[in-house]
């Protein structure tokens, strides 16, 4: 069973339906016991970092996330979920985050005034290193992004895929052990996104 963590951060139904389409049992849940009993965990989210962290604290889910990662449960972060696993985000005047992945989350600051923030649309990802989640996914495939901030891992070894936008070349996919996270929305990226989700549902958490 895949637990989709519900921390009041946006639409989780498309993630659930994508998994159901793949024939994978899943549940949207806030319950730490159910999350820790799951074979795999998906940590999605839309919105702002400070509110996400507030919700995670209120729901007592921060320890749950850490425990899942410590136990090497295959863990997939998506969009805001990916951002809040880092140490710190520049959003909302600076927000300390969950600290599951060393690094920070930065705001796009293009000099070109015509460059629009948020990035909202298709963009390509260059694969930086092989990973089980990339099986069947070609270099420079396109994924769907909606974001104003981007992950900047402290350790370049954690960068799995890179994307260019707004004069930045940023980590659009990061990985460390059983933890994998994407800035784009695989559940909104059509066939290629479903492929990545399918790879996740078959991944044992090793690389």
For other proteins, which stretch binds (CB under 8 A), given 49-57, 82-90, 174-182, 184-192?
184-192
187 assigned to active site: yes
Distance separating alpha carbons of residues 174 and 181, to the nearest angstrom: 5
For β-strands 40-43 and 2-5, DSSP reports them as parallel
Query: What residue ranges in the chain does DSSP mark as E strands?
Result: 2-5, 26-29, 40-43, 75-78, 86-89, 95-96, 101-107, 119-127, 141-147, 149-153, 159-165, 168-176, 179-182
Q: Do the beta carbons of residue 95 and residue 49 sit within 8 Å? A: yes
Catalytic residue among 20, 21, 79, 167: 79
Q: Does 96 sit near other proteins (CB under 8 A)?
A: no
Distance separating alpha carbons of residues 97 and 152, to the nearest angstrom: 13
Q: Does 192 sit near other proteins (CB under 8 A)?
A: yes
79 assigned to active site: yes
Q: Which of residues 15-44 bind other proteins (CB under 8 A)?
A: 17-18, 21
Nearer to other proteins, 86 or 150 (CB): 150
The contact mask relative to other proteins for 115-134 (x = CB under 8 A, - = no) is: -xxxxxxxxx----------
Catalytic residue among 20, 138, 187, 207: 187
Residues lying near other proteins in the complex (CB under 8 A): 11, 13-14, 17-18, 21, 114, 116-124, 141-142, 144, 146, 187-194
């Amino acid at each position: 069973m895949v637990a989709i963590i519900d921390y009041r951060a946006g639409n989780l139904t498309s993630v659930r339906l994508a998994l159901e389409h793949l024939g994978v049992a899943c549940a949207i849940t806030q319950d730490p016991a159910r999350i820790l009993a799951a074979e795999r965990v998906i940590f999605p989210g839309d919105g702002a970092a400070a509110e996400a962290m507030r919700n995670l604290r209120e729901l007592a889910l921060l320890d749950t996330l850490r425990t899942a990662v410590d136990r090497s449960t295959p863990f997939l972060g998506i969009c805001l979920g990916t951002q809040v696993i880092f140490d710190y985000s520049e959003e909302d005047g600076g927000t300390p985050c969950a600290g599951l992945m060393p690094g920070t989350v930065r705001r796009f600051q293009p000099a070109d005034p015509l460059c629009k923030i948020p990035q909202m649309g298709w963009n390509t990802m260059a694969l930086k290193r092989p990973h089980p989640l990339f099986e069947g996914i070609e270099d420079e495939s396109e994924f769907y992004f909606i974001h104003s901030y981007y992950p900047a891992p402290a350790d370049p070894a954690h960068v799995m895929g890179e994307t260019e936008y707004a004069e930045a070349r940023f980590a659009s996919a990061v990985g460390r052990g059983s933890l994998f996270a994407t800035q784009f929305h695989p559940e909104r990226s059509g066939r290629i996104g479903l492929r990545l989700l399918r790879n996740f549902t078959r991944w044992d958490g090793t690389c």
